[in-house]
Amino acid sequence: MLYRSLAKPLLFKMDPEQAHHLIIGGLSGMGSIRPVPSGLRVMYGVRETEDLAVDMFGCHFPTPVGLAAGLDKNGQAVMGFSSIGFGFMEVGTVTPLPQPGNDQPRLFRLPPDEALVNRMGFNNLGAEAMAGELARLKERRIPVAVNIGKNKATPNEEAHLDYEKCIRALYDYADLFVVNISSPNTPDLRNLQHGNELKELLAAVMSEMEAQRTKAGGSVKSVLVKIAPDVNDQELEYMVSTIADSGVAGIIATNTTVNRDGLSHQHAKETGGLSGKPLRDRSTEVIRRIYRQTEGKLPIIGSGGIFTSEDAYVKIKAGASLVEIYTALIYEGPEVNRRIHAGLRDLLRKDGYRHISEAVGAEHR
């Protein structure tokens, strides 16, 4: 209620990107002041419960609800976000070299549709800067996934070099990696999802991960691939088959969409990726098809349009083992995590499940 009644009206009067920087700056600053993270956990934290905790990808997730990539692009506010009820978070997308991203304005709210359109273009401070931010963390309460991409100026035939550079710079600081080949805001990036380009890129990524594991010791860290919702059935089947054969640990479904069907706000005409409620059903259908094709053997993180526990539960029953939110945090505030967590527990009990893993893919049985 505090967010909806006080913070949101003020933030929504600001330019969306300015509000974004204010939130990141605030959480970054507060996270470095010793008593503040504890206070945030009292206000917004989610108590770990046995029925919703998940062990996967070599990590322990205290809750199944994470923060999607794009909000904390440089890994500056991990302590803050880990104190407001998330079970994990993605930082990035990060590229080897710093880049400013696309021209402003590049972030737009669509309040009647409860959606956002962004064409940020991987604006970030670069892999070395992120490594410095993550190295300064005194503690890590939740798994941190580093979402990696290529610089805009890098041609697709050299894209693997950028992903390898990100892995080398950040291997010691990431709990797992996410290969982003699905943003609509970097020219030709989505072409990496198709044909031999995807197979060759993932082979290079997995080779570099093994090289870093050998160097660092221990078990290899997991890699996931984030895919777009804007693919036809044949393209999706090929992508999933290639990803499954590559040795990658899982898929995040999905990134933002370029589809604008059914939108009412004037900002619907803006180019870029759409997130929020209009993406919900399509991302769930992609999850459903991936689960069916892989017979549930390739773990899925569901992302796209989750605002309520029911939204999350539908994705879980369609095949997602974990879920992510982003736009809901902007519209609903940090209270959303507690509501989703409590609602998921109620839904599990209603269906007679003792643990969330029993509900994963339930609609297929």
Residue 144 φ/ψ region, left for φ over 0, alpha for ψ in the -120 to 50 degree band, beta for the rest = beta
CA atoms in the 13 A half-sphere facing the CB of 362: 16
Rounded-to-integer distance, Cα 278 and Cα 116, Å: 10
Place of tokens 């939110």: 325
Q: Which of 82, 183, 303, 309 is catalytic?
A: 183
Please state, in angstroms and as integers, the Cα–Cα distance from residue 261 to each residue in 58, 79, 118, 258, 269, following that order. 39, 37, 17, 10, 11
Tokens of 170: 């950040």
Longest dimension (CA), the chain: 53
Residue 155 φ/ψ region, left for φ over 0, alpha for ψ in the -120 to 50 degree band, beta for the rest = beta
Rg, Å, the chain Cα set:
19
- Catalytic site residue 32? no
Question: In angstroms, how far is the first alpha carbon of the chain from the final one?
Answer: 39
Amino acid at site 362: A
Please identify every residue annotated as catalytic: 183
